Structure 1
């Protein structure tokens, strides 16, 4: 599904960019151009970003666990 029609960016492309390390809308804009034209895609792209980041394990979680 296309999220950004202006730059022809799909949800798959956004998810791949996040998997490669992007963790802010600024990084998505710089890498893919999301939100750099009309801005109508920002809400959807932001939701995808949030959902993908929630799925990722965080290093801080590992620090909080007691050593085995």
Structure 2
């Protein structure tokens, strides 16, 4: 599915970047793609996809 229609960026492309390049935040995605640079409607969905690759916060020891 396309996340960014303006630039033709798919969810597969975002997941591939996250897995292969270790990219898991919007700042890094914007450095290597044009995602979010035109209409901006894709940013929310892109953040949701990238959140799958965020490290889990460490639980505090009691």
One fold, TM greater than 0.5?
Answer: yes
Q: Equivalent residue for 2:13?
A: 13
Task: Give unpaired runs (5+ residues) of structure 1.
Answer: 62-68
Tell me the number of residue pairs that the alignment of Structure 1 and Structure 2 aligns. 56
**Please, which runs of 5 or more residues in structure 2 have no aligned partner?**
none
Give runs of ≥4 in structure 1 deviating > 4 Å. Answer: none
TM-score between both structures, scaled by the size of structure 2 = 0.79
Indicate the structure (1 or 2) with the bigger Cα radius of gyration: 1
Bigger relative contact order, structure 1 or 2 (CA pairs below 8 A, ≥6 apart):
2
Larger proportion of helix: 1
